[in-house]
Amino acid sequence: MRMHNLDTKKYKRFFAFGCSFTNYKWPTWADIIGQDIEFYQNWAMPGAGNHFIFNSVIEADARYHYNKDDLVIIFWSTKEREDRYHNNVWLNDTNTTQEKTYGKEWVMRFGVDFRGFLVRDMAYMKAIQDIMKNKDCDWVNFTWHELFNSSHLRQTSNDKESLLRLWREKSKEIYLGGSIADFFDDRDVIKLYQDVFTNVDAMYKWFEVECINHRIAPDNDLHPTPMEALQFLDWLWPNNTLSDKARKYALSWDYSNKPYRPPISRL
């Protein structure tokens, strides 16, 4: 069933899926949870898109058969990515690396079709949600990435913090099942997959964390630090059962002298 609170004591196995926000050079939200569950597999890959994530969730089930003792968490990635299985390995390219892999002509033809990306990835997300609803395991899916575009929004402000605040305010309507604002592109696709959006958690949290902490990662790295990841888990599941071991593991990787602050209340 879809999980609404994180109780790590319930599970014997934990499977995590996503991109570099799930598997990175320092611990992520998944690694923190993994400290409390004996069998932990992280299927995420840096640079991965939703095609890869979809395939990974299905393959893991085929290999391990999700059951009542399992926790499955899917972190959906940004839609402007290209995944291909080639010569026995996955090629995962972000919008900044596709030209090196496929060439400039390919990128100009196939790498800028944002409506096409949305149509493709919404189908992947709906398929996974429908499949997981019929499994015995506990599961949840979330994202911190923008799943839809707004050409209008990007023309309204040059101030990053104001832009994030405006995006959160407008996108909340969609994620809570409300009306679809004229503000967004491809509204017909969003409407078709409205149920998918309302079953994705935590769209706004990355914006909140970024504004609250003002980024503490080294070298202006945009990936959440372990402390920010812990903040996120405490926001998403305020009554979680993360152990002292898991919390100390996250905080031991802190990159500044900034103390941990509990997240603001979830809306």
Q: pLDDT tens for the chain, 267 residues: list them.
A: 889 899 999 999 999 999 999 999 999 999 999 999 999 999 999 999 999 999 999 999 999 999 999 999 999 998 889 999 999 999 888 888 888 888 999 888 887 888 999 999 999 999 999 999 999 999 999 887 777 776 655 555 566 666 666 666 666 667 666 666 666 788 889 889 988 988 888 665 555 555 445 455 566 777 888 888 898 898 889 899 999 999 999 998 866 556 666 655 443
Domain for residue 78, yes or no? Answer: yes
- pLDDT tens for residues 89-138? 998 888 888 888 889 998 888 878 889 999 999 999 999 999 999 999 99
Expressed as residue numbers, the domain containing 80 is: 8-147+200-206+221-251
222: its two tokens: 């945009």
> Strand, coil or helix: what is 71?
strand
Q: Render 68-129 in DSSP notation, one character per residue.
A: TTEEEEEE---SS-EEEEETTEEEEE-TTTHHHHH-HHHHHHHTT-HHHHHHHHHHHHHHHH
Angle at Cα 1 formed by Cα 247 and Cα 55, nearest 5°?
Answer: 85
Domain for residue 160, yes or no? Answer: no
Domain for residue 83, yes or no? Answer: yes
**Alpha-carbon gap, residue 140 to 74, rounded angstroms:** 6
Domain for residue 22, yes or no? Answer: yes
Domain for residue 190, yes or no? Answer: no
Q: How many domains does the chain have?
A: 1
Domain for residue 62, yes or no? Answer: yes
